[in-house]
Structure 1
Amino acid sequence: MAKDYDVLIIGGGTAGLMTAAQLHRKDKQLRIGLIEPSAKHHYQPAYTLVAAGTFDMKDTIRNEGDYVPKGVDWIKEHAATFEPEKDTVRTSEGQSYTYGHLVVCPGIKLDIDAMPGLREALATDFVCSNYIDPEKTLRVLKAFKGGNAVFTQPSTPIKCGGAPQKAAYMSDEFLRKSGVRDKTNLVYATPGSVIFGVKEFAPALMDVIHKKGIILKTFYNPVRIDPVKKEIHFKWSKPGENSCVLTEDQGLKEKVEGESTIVMPYDMLHLAPPQSAPDFIKQSPLAYQEGPSKGWLEVDINSLQHKRYANIFGLGDVAALPTAKTGAAIRKQVPVVVANVLQRIKDGLLSKEQYSGYSSCPLVTGYGKMLLAEFKYDNVRDSDPLLRRLFDTTKPLWSMWILKKYGLPWLYWNKMLRGTM
């Protein structure tokens, strides 16, 4: 019985559009379906710049339909359930679609309700998130008159793991320009032990932390917000230690509750919210059913083929891959998925293409400065050889800022989403 589509793609974000474009370019006879309900497409890497007042929000949004390749069926519905044994996807709108191969890339969910008090706190004028509304971050910064400005990172996997510290760096610069930095305790709190996991880039970032006078708090896992008292609660997360002792208050007026809870007052709070796979993935047979990756899409980390269903592939933020969830990672994942799908259609085998875990974080450290951290699995540096010959990419540079503000957006809209990069 004929399938509705040779290839059905779930999700029309960066991964979905790039996969559709590259597949269509390589074989225009393929029947490709793309399930994506959103009418607009967002260039999220610019949100950090929007929050700092140096990029216009309207320039991050374009029509989704302008980037769905002609010849690809755009199904404006919500994927809901999977029946992999029947090669079938059902949508919330009551339709079902069959496929020869399935590519799963619906992105990531901002899990606001996973942190008690977060939803209520976001309704106040003191709490913001670049992930949710970067324009509000800018409004909060403009209204801030001093005190504790606290920036946090959750313990869950998140998209663009460097974004929370970028928010802190750019806010530092903004507050200096507005004349209130000397009245501010600027805190960056992370559940981790270091500022950045790739050792070649950590020294330059620690230098940024020290020069800016940012108070770095490691092993601080945010768990709850009290928006009435304007306090955030952290769980002390240092391995092997069940209790914490405050050795340096640094004027923050922190206090310890019980053995391992630290309470910090805030006058401004920026959060990266907890994140997870979308619910319809978590509740599906395609997700890991147990273990540390429970709920995330179960794929081989090199071939990106599903571990239990050979005609299913996954990529992007939803995939359980031990690397940073970024657009740069997707740019390297898409050719692997495309090659493997085409090879399987041809002869049932996989191609020789392998994903190395490549990702990158364009770490904006101030107006006119950016450090481009490129790496692969196991936190091994993987900087572009040409860039390494031309620039010292372990340090913040003006040239990298120009790339971030002008070069990368142009490449995204004109090359990546068109399937030519």
Structure 2
Amino acid sequence: MHCQVLIAGGGTGGITLASWLRRLAPELDVTVVEPSSSHDYQSGWVLVAGGFVPMAETERSEASVMPEGVRWICSKVVAFDPEQHAVELIDGQRITYGVLVVALGLDLLWSAVDGLPAALGRHGVCSIYSRRFAMYTRDCLRRFQGGTALFTQPATAIKCGGAPQKIMHIADQQFKRRSGVGVKSRLIFCTAKSNLFPVPAFSEAMGAIAAAHGSEVRFRHDLVAVNGPERRAVFRVREQEGGQSHELELGFDLLHVVPPMAAPRVVAESPLAVNPTEGWVEVDPHSGQHLRYPDVFAIGDVGSFPTSKTAAAVRLQAPVVAANVQAVLQGRSVQGGYDGYSACPLITTDHSVMMVEFDYTKKPVSSFLVDPVKERWFAWLLERWGFPWIYWNRMLKAQPHEGAYLKPFTGLARRLGLMRWQR
């Protein structure tokens, strides 16, 4: 089987890109390989855990989001052969392509933490990084009767770098509302990193928010083991970056875990990867084109883009990658255009969000022409109602945009001769 454009993966990146390709060139032969019959709005799982939305609002069938005219092969890619311009599927079928786009996201490595798979969903061990355990997280927050609540973040890259703190702030607010009836809590955020966020201005603001809530932040604390029945968590602690480490055991009444994450093994062990350790598809950070195979691109979390792995990043990458795929098919040069934009709306209460927006400069930017390093009520309205609607009705359908979430704001920015506010 041969196709002009083969997209490996039908998640956020794959569907958004397929829609953009059909929009730019309706005559293109586009094929998506995706084994799942359902499609998730994963950013909504923290809202599910917080009790703001039902799980059903975060899921639709894969068929309902597949762009019209795109061929969907319900299967799994198990090998890449870029020298022969081909991929192999799990059933042994081999597909050749004119252009390949890898959109396989990343893998969650639950088993990398000793004892975690057996403890998840029991003993107060929960996570918003799974559809299965998001509802259990919701139950844990509601049933919490006081004590120590631990929240973790691994050393690896993760989806939405702000999400581990979102659920902590939601928990903090729920616990404090019940403090009058005897619910006394101690919240500890244990991150394997040496900061709360890779953008210094946001990291500083996040630390101030946690301190104002009374939450403890512990840096260079990497979760390595969980004993569910005894409710003990073991961390590898480094007193300073690159220094000696020791193990620390903490008891918990609630443990929210963010698992280590990595590129899918099928990518990491292929010629497409930077190397087996890094695992990500090796791409030019501005065009999305592979550095060694010009007929290969990546979009989203699986690419080596040096920015946070978010749906907002995919939304800005998609039109650039789509235009460059078309250029390769037509024998033209590819162009840059993606500036590293990413966004992690940080929920701080049930009526405020800090819009964490930035690009490759590692400086805050704003699509709304306001200082983004502040909590705002309108950003909560966007996180709760606006962004889910935008995801299903605009992003996945490749509606035109210019790097911002809402057209009225971008229109105003254009009239003022600006694209985004920059700190």
TM-score in same-fold range (> 0.5): yes
Residue 181 of structure 1 deviates from its aligned partner by 8.0
Match of 1:254?
none
Residue 405 of structure 2: aligned partner:
none
Cα distance between partner residues in 1 of 2:182 and 2:91:
51
Contact 2:123 2:228 in 1 (8 A): no
- Post-superposition CA distance 1:184-234 (Å, at most 9, x none): 111111122222232332343223212211011111111121223321111
Q: How far apart, in 2, do the equivalents of 1:232 and 1:322 lie?
A: 31
Q: Are positions 1:328 and 2:312 aligned together?
A: yes
User: Which whole-Å CA distance do the structure 2 matches of 1:356 and 1:229 have between them?
Assistant: 47
Asked whether the 8 Å contact 1:192–1:219 carries over to 2, the reply is yes
- Aligned mate of 2:114, from 112, 116, 121: 116
Deviates more, 1:79-88 or 1:224-233: 224-233
**Normalized against structure 1, the TM-score is what?**
0.91
* 8 Å Cα contact 2:354/2:372 also seen in 1: yes
Q: Which amino acid aligns with 2:311?
A: G
> Aligned-residue CA RMSD in angstroms?
1.6
Matches within 5 A, 1:6-45: 6-45=4-43
Q: Which has the higher mean CA deviation after the structures are superposed, 117-126 or 85-94?
A: 117-126
Cα 1:373–1:181 change in 2 (3 A) is: farther
Post-superposition Cα deviations, 1:292-351, rounded to whole Å, max 9, x if no partner, equal x5222111222211121110000111112221000000011111111111111112421x
In the alignment, the residues of structure 2 paired with residue 357 and residue 5 of structure 1 have an alpha-carbon distance, to the nearest angstrom, of 30
Residue 165 (structure 1) aligns with = 165
2:144 equivalent in structure 1: 144
State the partner residue of 2:354. Answer: 371
Further displaced range: 352-361 or 18-27: 352-361
CA shift at 1:378, angstroms? Answer: 4.6
Match of 2:326 in 1: 342
Compute the displacement of 1:87 (Å). 1.0
The corresponding residue for 1:177 is 177
> Is the counterpart of residue 264 in structure 1 residue 250 in structure 2?
yes
Question: Do the aligned partners of 1:153 and 1:272 also contact (CA within 8 Å) in 2?
Answer: yes
Equivalent residue for 1:275? 261
Of the candidates 78, 81, 84, which is equivalent to residue 82 of structure 2? Answer: 84
For the pair 1:356 / 2:354, whether they are aligned, the reply is no
C-alpha contact 1:339 1:353 (8 A) present in aligned 2: no
Question: Are the aligned partners of 2:364 and 2:372 in contact in 1 as well (CA < 8 Å)?
Answer: no
Checking the alignment, whether the CA contact within 8 Å between 2:126 and 2:257 is kept in structure 1 is yes
> Does the 8 Å contact 1:172/1:181 carry over to 2?
no
Contact 1:125 1:140 in 2 (8 A): no
CA separation of 1:419 and 1:302: change in aligned 2, threshold 3 A? same
- Aligned AA for 2:237? W
- Give the partner amino acid of 2:107: K
1:394 maps onto 2:367 in alignment: no
Cα displacement (A) at 1:396: 0.9
SS at match of 2:201: coil
* 2:134 aligned with 1:134: yes
**In the alignment, is the contact (CA less than 8 A) between 1:20 and 1:32 conserved in 2?**
yes
Q: Which amino acid aligns with 1:186?
A: L
Instruction: Give the Cα–Cα distance (whole angstroms) in 2 for the partners of residues 204 and 295 of structure 1.
Output: 32
Amino acid at match of 2:320: V
Displacement after TM superposition at 1:169 (Å) = 0.5
Matched positions, count: 396
Contact 1:175 1:181 in 2 (8 A): no
Q: Is the partner of 2:375 in helix, strand or coil?
A: coil
* One-letter amino acid matched to 2:387: L
Aligned counterparts of 1:407 and 1:172: Cα–Cα separation in 2? 24
The answer to whether the Cα contact below 8 Å between 1:83 and 1:89 also exists between their aligned partners in 2 is yes
d(CA) in 2 for partners of 1:364, 1:343: 40
Q: Which runs of 5+ in 1 are unaligned?
A: 244-259
- 8 A Cα contact 2:124 2:140, kept in partner: yes
Match of 1:289, SS?
coil
Tell me if structure 2 keeps the 8 A contact 1:152–1:188: yes
Structure 2 residues without counterparts, runs of 5 or longer = 401-423
CA distance in 1, matches of 2:182, 2:150: 13
